Chain A
């Protein structure tokens, strides 16, 4: 693969990453969010695959396959089950901030990400590292989704969005984080999601079908 094709495809995948993050902020229906999440996982797998082809690492290739399986297959499947579990009452997210305002916040966050991650790009200017700000922006947008959503399944989406951003930063900064660390990370994410999945199940058990997952029992 020639250098320019690599760069083009890499940037295209990064653009897809950013576009899907914005879509997640934009759309309300959880079913759509999960589909967008799967698309984002695919973009992430493409980034990993490109890195593997470019640096020629088998480890990275394994990571790409792992990302594909985990983020396009397993996690969306788990999410869909979680949404099905909480019932029809909460199939739409209910953001605390209205969508237009949160989109504008996302614009500010993106600029912030570019400002903050300037030193990261300057450390080793290259095609991959110049896309780091996009990963950071996805992390920030994910964090924002997480703190502005009231219902449990939408918080989960925010968490996973953030995690996708972190993975993207990891893939873009590295020529090879030790495979063990990558594996540990993937395992931890999977476990965290499983835990959350079980908890949503329990929520339905304890909270009943209506008004699920509103999370307002405990406060000061």
Chain B
């Protein structure tokens, strides 16, 4: 375990936990401004969280341990990912865990936990949200795996840190057709996975269109705060991974304080840019009808597959 790994292991989770709600606030603010509203300010998610954490824990009658454990599972898995993945530093305290398959499995485990919680409430909305989420996840996870796999082929390793540092060494790889196709595929699946437009509308509570919101409808108080925090963190982690897989420059490769600070700053800049792009894009997009979503995801799966093929044959 290197010094850089330890530093990364401390800095990254802190940055993700602290920064993600701000990221969400910023995206909401941008949307609000573009739509001609004043907006609540970028710190609003944190204010919401503080208020929710201060409330009395309460759970609907008839729900079991799954319902109560799911928010913790969601936060925990996301924390582990932010602990190991190469976000601000290329090294981590548990380098072998920073494996493509492990990271994707961890993130999926969180999603599944939330879907189970939705089922556990026994309400119509919870079940509907869970079934929709599972449909999307079934298409998203393979795409995610295949797309990152395409990037790992030229490196010869599925370790995310190895992929990132290899792109650092060989910048030309960032514009190869494989990474072009994989990038498009990843953008689509990340949009789907984090429940943004056009797959899911994060700001709606219109019963017929909800996916993520339908699952968390029964949560209140600190549990809701955890779920909200975890979804913000997932968004942050996904955007950071996307940025670092294709544009890793700025990430800390040594344990010096300036390098680490630079890494965190670079991470913040990249994630904010991506988040703003996403928010601006959402203003112009309408939500897809649910049965069109598999079409979109099948397309991204195809692109990911093409990326793998291209990385094998055009190497």
- Which chain A residues have a beta carbon within 8 Å of chain B's beta carbons? 4, 8, 11-12, 14-16, 18-19, 22, 26, 98-101, 103-104, 106-107, 110-111, 114, 121, 130-131, 133-134
B181 on the A face (CB < 8 A) = yes
Pair A107/B181 contact, Cβ less than 8 Å: no
A114-B309 in contact given A16-B180, A104-B298, A104-B302 (Cβ < 8 Å): yes
Cα A111 to Cα B295 with chains together (Å): 20
A contact patch SS: helix
Residue of B nearest to A132 (CB): B313
Pair A4/B314 contact, Cβ less than 8 Å: no
Cα A111 to Cα B310 with chains together (Å): 10
Pick from A4, A103, A107, A130: contact of B172, CB below 8 A.
Answer: A4
CB distance from B262 to the nearest CB of A (A): 28
Cα A111 to Cα B302 with chains together (Å): 11
CB distance from A211 to the nearest CB of B (A): 25
Q: Which of B175, B180, B294, B310 has the most CB of A within 10 A?
A: B310
- Apart from A18-B306, A26-B299, A110-B309, what 12 extra A-B contacts exist at CB < 8 Å? A8-B175, A8-B176, A15-B177, A15-B310, A19-B184, A19-B306, A99-B299, A103-B299, A104-B302, A106-B302, A107-B305, A107-B306
Pair B295/A11 contact, Cβ less than 8 Å: no
A110-B178 in contact given A11-B314, A22-B299, A100-B294 (Cβ < 8 Å): no
Pair B301/A107 contact, Cβ less than 8 Å: yes
B contact patch SS: helix
User: Which residues of chain B are near A103, meaning CB under 8 Å?
Assistant: 295, 298-299, 301-302
Residue-wise, chain B 274-294 has the 8 Å CB interface mask toward A (1 for contact) of: 000000000000000000001
Cα A4 to Cα B176 with chains together (Å): 11
Cα A14 to Cα B311 with chains together (Å): 12
> Which 4 pairs show the lowest CB-CB distances between chains A and B?
A15-B177, A100-B298, A103-B298, A99-B295
Cα A203 to Cα B102 with chains together (Å): 58
Pair A11/B177 contact, Cβ less than 8 Å: yes
B189 on the A face (CB < 8 A) = no
CB distance from A62 to the nearest CB of B (A): 27
Cα A11 to Cα B310 with chains together (Å): 9
Residue of B nearest to A102 (CB): B298
B106 on the A face (CB < 8 A) = no
CB distance from B130 to the nearest CB of A (A): 22
Pair A114/B313 contact, Cβ less than 8 Å: yes
